[in-house]
Amino acid sequence: MTKALVFGTGAVGSVYGWFLEKAGVTVTAVCRSNYNQVKQNGLLIRSKKWGRNISKPIAVPSVAAAKPYGPFDYILVCSKAFPDTHTLIKEAVTPGSAIVLAQNGIGIEEAYAKAYPQNSIISGVVYLPVVQVELGVVEHGTPLERFEVGTYPASASPPSKAQAEHFAELWEAGGATCHVYDDIQGQRWSKLALNATLNPICALTLCDDANFLRSSEDAFQMACDVMREVGRVAQAYGYNTITDESIKEHMKRHQERMDTGGKAPSMLQDVEHGRPIEVEAILGNAVRLAQGVKIDVPYLRLLYALAKGLNFSIIRDGAWRPIATVQ
């Protein structure tokens, strides 16, 4: 029987654990603020694609409490990507566990590879617009769902490659979509174009994607220009996955939401809840990688500095709240 641990049972982790559960995997889910709800009622998943479903993982309040349910074949990391996240799963990692990263950003795998040199690292790119609307209740508002995975590094051993293939088979058995790439980094860059643009822009403007596009005549073009800038960095690293076509495809989804209802990117959700934002994984690493190949990235540098300022305020003050109007 395959066993999986979900670390970070929020918006993405709840749905991803459910896919594995449907594939017959025994899923243990580390829950923090939603522990009582998940333990009592399971997770309610409301999806445009799959309707209303209840997922019933083994809910545990910490990684230490998960240990008796292991050893785990797969450890699925679905928390936000912060520089120290790799340390949080340590107690659950055993020889043979494959660590699957279901997180946005670029350059996030190295820390895991260093911390767990004997384990397979499977890097995953998430297309799943979801929100935890209340504790234990997750909404998946459009039919979009795709998980793209590949080993880190691309040159990993045949057993690691086989673990990635097996993981994708489980995903498909759970009724969801998973594509395996020999080198996942091209897909990571492509997704980063979207996240390094819309996530900070929406977080900084407090607009969901549809409202940002409505907010000025230049908004659409501006977003495309930032994506092209990410594309120049990707290109310098040998990845040609950010093209006019891929940018059009990303932007089309956001434009459609002007008719069907806007989506708050995960970084805006964090700001609304006073949670730290993924500023290093999504912007800082991209700026540093650009510096490494001497590509000038003025838009990314500006977004990085502003998002760092925003993160500073969040960490200092907690939840965002409107500043009282001076009478």
Ligand X SMILES: CC(C)(CO)C(=O)C(=O)O
**Which residue ranges make up the site for ligand NDP (CB under 6 A)?**
8-13, 30, 32-33, 78-81, 88, 102-104, 126, 128-130, 132, 266, 278
Tokens of 6: 């979900």
Instruction: Write down the least CB distance from residue 7 to ligand NDP, Å.
Output: 7
Distances (CA, A) of 3 to 9, 26, 29, 167, 320: 16, 5, 11, 11, 39
- Longest CA span, the chain: 68
Instruction: Write down the least CB distance from residue 95 to ligand NDP, Å.
Output: 23
103 binds, among ligand NDP, ligand X, none (CB under 5 to 8 A by kind): ligand NDP
100 or 198, CB closer to ligand X? 198
Position 22: which residue type?
Answer: K
Beta bridge partners of 216: none
Hey, what's the torsion of the CAs at 253, 178, 203, 299, to 10 degrees?
-80
194 binds, among ligand X, ligand NDP, none (CB under 5 to 8 A by kind): ligand X
Beta bridge partners of 152: 121
69 or 320, CB closer to ligand X? 320
130 or 168, CB closer to ligand NDP? 130
187 or 266, CB closer to ligand X? 266
Instruction: Write down the least CB distance from residue 229 to ligand X, Å.
Output: 18
88 binds, among ligand NDP, ligand X, none (CB under 5 to 8 A by kind): ligand NDP
Instruction: Write down the least CB distance from residue 12 to ligand X, Å.
Output: 9
- Length in residues, the chain: 327
Distant-in-sequence, close-in-space partners of 245: CB < 8 Å, separation ≥ 6: none
| Total H helices, total E strands in the chain | 13, 12
Burial (CB count within 10 angstroms: exposed 0-12, middle 13-18, buried 19+), residue 154: middle
Instruction: Write down the least CB distance from residue 82 to ligand X, Å.
Output: 14
Q: How far apart are CA 89 and CA 141, in angstroms?
A: 30
Closest chain position to ligand NDP (CB)? 10
Tokens of 270: 């964090």
Note the residues at the interface with ligand X (CB under 6 A): 104, 127, 129, 194-195, 198-199, 263, 265-266
161 or 168, CB closer to ligand NDP? 168
Q: How far apart are CA 284 and CA 82, in angstroms?
A: 11
148 or 229, CB closer to ligand NDP? 148
33 binds, among ligand X, ligand NDP, none (CB under 5 to 8 A by kind): ligand NDP
